[in-house]
Chain A
């Protein structure tokens, strides 16, 4: 058994792609407007989405599109599905907003709860019933070799049978999501290697 990349999704420049195909575009829109447009376009039907910070909205959109029609929960136990993500700015976008609120004297608890980067993983897990291993790494750039090797090591140690990996960066209007789904497979159509992920990430 090996780990193979079965699907991948990218959101950047107000466009959404899945498996290399563009699915959605909304030009000249702020991230708030773009994420709202995408929410309605893909019929997410998840009111909690509106309460999330922008990093979580980005992650939820990308993971929903990545897992659409996948029926992951029917084939793999929730405890055997992992989520390993990374970005550069951590939750700084929300941290700055919250610091501004504290200065103004009215700090929102609903904003405070998003002032950690791994909250987005929690939101993805709650939405999709995922209960497996998860970690959020912070690094200056997308360190593909470290992430791929980490995921492969967890897979070899039977920590999970499937994993959502990728890069989820957002700071103000600058954002980029690249998520992929790696699953246990007998035939390696697209093996989960550093070369594969580099190729998918750089070619999109």
Chain B
């Protein structure tokens, strides 16, 4: 799980072009949107692409997005629960 979270942080920084953020600076439970990393709606779409591209997981229900993408912890839990 720790390795998965580290990979996720690196992939988030790369995929979203967060050039002023280092992967190790992202807390496991830090909110990704608004007050946390300050991601926006386009970033949310990029995170959906990230899940498909790196983990082969399609977000089944769009309304799950805010829960799944709340933090690195919630993303990692979703990947663990849905990996093939």
Chain A positions within 8 Å of B, measured between CB atoms, are 47, 50-51, 106-110, 113
Contact = CB atoms under 8 A, between A and B. Distances in A.
Interface residues of B, number: 13
Contacts of A107: 49
Contacts of B19: 47, 50
A107 B17 CA distance: 16
B49 A109 contact: yes
A109 B18 contact: no
Interface string B27-65: 000000000001000110110010011000000000000
Interface string B5-24: 00000000000111110000
Q: Which 5 A-B pairs have the closest CB atoms?
A: A109-B45, A50-B19, A50-B17, A51-B17, A110-B46
Interface string B63-74: 000000000000
A132 B44 CA distance: 29
A33 to B, nearest CB: 13
